[in-house]
Amino acid sequence: MIIDNFHKELISLFEANMPIIEIKSYDIETIDRSLTQLFSQYEIYEFHLGDLLIDFQTKDREKKLSIFELLEKIDSRVCEKEAILLLKDIGSLLQDKQVLYYLKSIAFKQLYRENFSVTTLLIGDELDIPQTVKGLVSSILLPNPDIEELCNIVGDYISSMDIQTVINNKRDIAMALLGLDRVEALKVLNRNYQMNGSLDLTYLPIKIDKSRELVEKRARLQYIESSNGFEVVGGLSKIRGYINRVAKIYSNYDRAIQFGVDIPKGIIIYGRDGSGKGLLVKATSKVMNYPIITFNFEMLNSLDELDVILNSLSSMREAIFWVNGLNSNHFILDRLSQWLVCKEREKIFTILTTNIDLQGREISGFDEVFAVELPTERERDEIIRIHLHKRGKLSRQLDIFKIVKESRGLNGSEIESAVRRGVEDAFIENERELKTEDILHHLTKISDS
């Protein structure tokens, strides 16, 4: 289960003597269970806003104690027993200079003193870690539950509530909950049981666009829905044909697996800017009826950050993962390939678009590598007609053949730009009729630039 991977990573941070660990999550109940399971031999000092020291086991308020008094107590502690300083949702206190002083002091003693063993845990999903302590902080994300853990959650819920009527089997209910975090899943189960006195998928109040909410919590991810299919894409017939095959497989996912089909996991499309890669990806979203989750490699700071993103994707129900902006960092491509190889039974189709020529390179995980070349004469004809039709300007008065000839050597984006500018000229000049020369003029300007 994915929670086991989280546990392994957390243990490895403790074993590596990391002084401050940030756990990115608001789900304090799951974190408490994990700490109880993994670190039962540790003494745990739990603190919440409101100047309260909490008994970690009973959750009773021990006494009124300011954060400064607690940190001074920990900082001056001579430890024989390993301890955890557990700070939950302390928010603005992280900007206090005295708090930062103590956190740094405790962290350095953890690193360098043999008789001092206190690991600080910062819990919260939107903590603003100040630069002065950032170098001492290791971050870890509590991932959303995978299908196996959700099956356990559903089973435990049925047992605890003594539910006699379960319309669907546990795995079907778990599949419907996939993409929610643990708190959200329990809220849905509670509401369903309250409405019907049973668990029934028919009434399960899960929003279709839940994935959008999950993506918006990730600062570098973007959620895109497209309203246009392949009717706005000129040329690229080979890639379009392949995507239509993929769409049929994904729309019949379980039947395809039972039939023995190897589910396609991802493709690479390379070609120069303006060749239609992005337009093709957005059209694929419409054809497959999947939202796009996109990420730009140019904004990637580390492989650890990539792992966080890939873990987030693993908990989503269905999506197209569009990776754009790949540079020459082959370590990143290798990590992405490893993820694709290990990915099983997840309805996430990955499309990587890049300007780098990857033809001939062995890349595991991806099913196909497509090169997007300059459009042929027939493809340019198709592109021109699409953009004229889109603007209501496709007419017999235009010499399409001449426009096609003059657009040789240009990509789809450049051809669209010439059409767009020509239509603008006709409008500005008293909304006159569009002429062939209007488009030819801008094709020449683009070619000469």
Q: Are residues 285 and 408 in the same domain?
A: no
Name 121's Cβ contacts closer than 8 Å, sequence gap at least 6.
20, 21, 22, 23, 35, 84, 85, 86, 87
How many residues does the structure list for the chain? Answer: 449
As a whole number of angstroms, the distance between CA 213 and CA 166 comes to: 28
- 318: exposed, middle or buried (C-beta count within 10 Å: 0-12, 13-18, 19+)? middle
Q: Are residues 248 and 190 in the same domain?
A: no
Q: Are residues 159 and 254 in the same domain?
A: no
**Nearest 5°: phi and psi at 166?**
-125, 105
Q: Are residues 266 and 193 in the same domain?
A: no
Q: Report pLDDT for 166.
A: 65
The string of DSSP letters for 146-161 reads -HHHHHHHHHHHHHHH
Which of 371, 406, 438 corresponds to the end of one domain?
371
Residue 73 covered by a domain: yes
Residue 361 covered by a domain: yes
Q: Report pLDDT for 296.
A: 66
Token pair belonging to 238: 């080979």
Residue 211 covered by a domain: no
Q: Are residues 393 and 441 in the same domain?
A: yes
Structural domain that includes position 159? 147-206
Q: Are residues 118 and 175 in the same domain?
A: no
Q: In this structure, what CATH number is given to the domain that contains residue 125?
A: 3.40.50.300
As a whole number of angstroms, the distance between CA 64 and CA 94 comes to: 20
Residue 353 covered by a domain: yes
Q: Report pLDDT for 168.
A: 63
As a whole number of angstroms, the distance between CA 420 and CA 404 comes to: 15
Residue 67 covered by a domain: yes
Which of 371, 398, 418 corresponds to the end of one domain?
371
Q: Report pLDDT for 220.
A: 62
Number of domains comprising the chain = 4
Q: Report pLDDT for 208.
A: 41
Q: Are residues 7 and 52 in the same domain?
A: yes
- 384: exposed, middle or buried (C-beta count within 10 Å: 0-12, 13-18, 19+)? buried
The string of DSSP letters for 18-30 reads -SEEEEE-S-HHH
Q: Are residues 358 and 381 in the same domain?
A: no
Token pair belonging to 19: 């002084």
Specify which residues 52 forms β-bridges with: 48, 64
Q: Are residues 58 and 173 in the same domain?
A: no
Q: Are residues 335 and 393 in the same domain?
A: no
Q: Are residues 152 and 257 in the same domain?
A: no
Residue 213 covered by a domain: no
Residue 354 covered by a domain: yes
Residue 187 covered by a domain: yes
The list of the chain residues with pLDDT below 70 reads 50-51, 63, 79-80, 165-168, 196, 201-220, 296-299, 301, 308, 311-312, 314-317, 326-330, 343-345, 358-362
**Nearest 5°: phi and psi at 29?**
-65, -45
Q: Are residues 158 and 278 in the same domain?
A: no
Q: In this structure, what CATH number is given to the domain that contains residue 404?
A: 1.10.8.60
Which of 115, 141, 167 corresponds to the end of one domain?
141
Q: Report pLDDT for 137.
A: 93
